[in-house]
Amino acid sequence: MTDAAVSTAATSADIAAAVEQRRNFAIISHPDAGKTTLTEKLLLYGGAIQEAGAVKAKRAQRSATSDWMELEQQRGISITSTVLQFAYGGYTINLLDTPGHQDFSEDTYRTLAAADNAVMLEDAAKGLEPQTLKLFEVCRMRSLPIFTFFNKMDRPAREPLELLDEIEQRLGLQTYAVNWPIGMGDRFKGVFDRRHQQIHLFERSIHGKKAAKNTVLDIGDPRIEDLLDQDLYYQFKEELEVIEEVGPELDLDAVHAGQQTPVFFGSAMTNFGVQLFLDAFLDYALKPSAHSSTLGEISPTNEDFSGFVFKLQANMDPKHRDRIAFVRVCSGKFEKDMVVSHARSGKSVRLSHPQKLFGQGRESLEEAYPGDVIGLNNPGVFAIGDTIYQGKRLEYDGIPCFSPEIFAYLKNPNPSKYKQFQKGVSELREEGAVQIMFSADESKRDPILAAVGQLQLEVVQYRLQNEYNVETRIEPLPYAVARWVDGGWEALEKVGRLFNTVTVKDSWDRPVLLFRNEWNCQQIQSDHPELKLSAIAPVVS
Ligand code: G4P
């Protein structure tokens, strides 16, 4: 055997071992359900931070290093997504963080394209909320495994059985309770872990700053009845009997296919049930698996490195006016300074100065494996959805654009700023900060900003001013729904004149119909059943 062959064999075993111990996930939730709090507690167990509060503190420091993130600071919201990597229980865990504000959910949609698992976090007093429902639909499209965590059990909550029923009825997702709460609100005492048939009774710590102390008892332990109030104990036993009798068995194949969700109850703030959740999650979650491409399914253990860009972020550090491309590693091993092919342009690119991103901090990165995310400096080379690879040419399935809900003309009142305006608009579009459309009427040249939320428009204006020195004006348009036309212009011409809609073009010159409301959209669908409309843009390859 030659030296080269020996080293390749070692690398391949290396990759397989790295994949085995990697788990990657994103949290989907409605604002205020406790995502920041849960993230902090997970990092606390992972040893990535010593004391809860560090993530928020990091967030507060951000505006010191970034100009446009001042807006985050002013509004007290988190716009940007970052990737948090930490080690726990022999695993390397990548938490793909997503923006907290729903106006930036497009960013979350894209991040979900890089995730292998999703944790659906719900406030146990509220159950399913609108933003969670929207994000769930994106997970469903990708058949992502979904883990449910009902948070805030230390406050008055809805009945656990009712919460499970809601998921089954509204999402059509089978539930399997991995743990079961004992009491709620002031009387939330702990949870029963069905995996080990043990009761965990928690002691409250101040705001859950450190890992919670807990007492673990086997289900048959005679002390249980003394430690728990009688009524709580009997209620818990009754509910447990119900889920054991009528509930399904845990079926990991169904979990991995996104058909069954393992369910957990706890309180992120007081640290009840967080570690139990993390332990079970790591056992049940899907490890980095194959991704579909123009060459068919690409296994993560394929020796050739490959990955795709799922997010771009400009000017994270204004001193350098840099642009970072976030790449999800899909196969092989990434090494610093490696030369890869860029599928869209056909060019070779050296991946120097790769970065590992932790919140706003950055570390230089030497190597990465499937399931990891790397940050690459992006001097205008990468766009969202781009594939990079070594070996045989391949392209991963692109990342779809989702239906925007707010539309407005973007006007540049100062003709001398024409060039900066064009450059800014085009770069922000490439970065995915906003979708850009144009009127089908050639006499109207102003770009139409198409966004998911109002704040997204404000960020575009703010950045054009701060980064490109262009002051702009927004002129709102009265539309709320966009649909792409299957079959493009040809299909549209065939149906003839349409009422109560306008036609615009997206950045790839494809027709998009805008409607004032869902009702108008449905009306056209029923009047023209031959017209196939889609809320998700066809992928550009
Ligand atoms: P988000 O990122 O999903 O938007 O939510 P975040 O973690 O910021 O939590 C929203 C609010 O809910 C916070 O309160 C947080 O402390 C509280 N919270 C999170 N988890 C729990 C829990 O398990 N139990 C209870 N009772 N509350 C919880 P806040 O008043 O907005 O902020 P703070 O002053 O407490 O930090």
Which pLDDT score is estimated for 432?
A: 79
Q: Whose CA is nearest to atom 21 of ligand 1?
A: 269
Distance 405 CA to ligand 1 centre (A): 28
User: Could you give the CA distance from residue 75 to residue 434 in angstroms, rounded to a whole number?
Assistant: 19
Q: Which atom of ligand 1 is nearest to the CA of 266?
A: 23
Which pLDDT score is estimated for 7?
A: 43
**Facing residues of 394 across strands?**
none
Q: Whose CA is nearest to atom 25 of ligand 1?
A: 152
Q: Whose CA is nearest to atom 17 of ligand 1?
A: 34
ipTM exceeding cut-off 0.95 for this assembly = yes
CA 380 and chain centroid, separation: 24
The pair of structure tokens assigned to 289 is 């698996």
Strands 291-293 and 260-265: unpaired
Distance 263 CA to ligand 1 centre (A): 20
User: Could you give the CA distance from residue 94 to residue 23 in angstroms, rounded to a whole number?
Assistant: 6
Distance 32 CA to ligand 1 centre (A): 6
Distance 125 CA to ligand 1 centre (A): 13
The residue among 412, 425, 480, 490 whose CA lies nearest residue 451 is 480
Residues 6+ apart with CB under 8 A from 422: none
Which residue of 35, 205, 269 sits with most ligand 1 atoms within 8 Å of its CB, as the best mutation to test the pocket?
A: 269
Collapsing DSSP to helix, strand or coil, 5 comes out as helix
User: Could you give the CA distance from residue 209 to residue 53 in angstroms, rounded to a whole number?
Assistant: 8
Q: Write out residues with Cβ below 6 Å of ligand 1.
A: 29, 31-37, 100, 151-152, 154-155, 267-269
Which pLDDT score is estimated for 191?
A: 94
Q: Say whether 152 counts as a known binding-site residue.
A: yes
Exposure of 327 by Cβ count < 10 A (0-12 exposed, 13-18 middle, 19+ buried)? buried
Per-residue pLDDT of the chain (541 residues; tens, 9 = 90+): 444 444 444 478 899 999 999 999 999 999 899 998 898 888 887 765 554 444 544 444 333 233 334 544 444 434 444 678 888 999 999 998 776 566 666 777 888 999 999 999 999 999 999 889 988 988 998 899 999 999 999 999 999 999 999 999 999 999 999 999 999 999 999 999 999 999 998 876 655 555 556 788 888 888 887 788 888 888 999 999 999 999 999 999 999 999 999 999 999 998 899 999 999 999 999 999 999 999 999 999 999 999 999 988 765 555 555 677 889 999 999 988 899 999 988 999 988 776 655 544 455 677 899 999 988 877 678 888 899 999 999 999 888 777 889 999 999 999 999 999 999 999 888 877 889 999 988 888 899 999 988 888 988 998 899 889 999 999 999 999 999 999 999 999 999 889 999 999 998 899 999 999 999 999 999 999 999 998 877 666 5
User: Could you give the CA distance from residue 325 to residue 311 in angstroms, rounded to a whole number?
Assistant: 6
Q: Which atom of ligand 1 is nearest to the CA of 151?
A: 23
The residue among 486, 509, 294 whose CA lies nearest residue 389 is 294
Residues 171 and 135 sit within 8 Å (Cβ to Cβ) = no
User: DSSP string covering 27-50, please?
Assistant: EEE-TTSSHHHHHHHHHHHTTS-S
Distance 99 CA to ligand 1 centre (A): 16
User: DSSP string covering 401-451, please?
Assistant: -B---EEEEEE---GGGHHHHHHHHHHHHHHTSSEEEEESSTT--SPEEEE
Distance 56 CA to ligand 1 centre (A): 11
Q: Whose CA is nearest to atom 16 of ligand 1?
A: 269
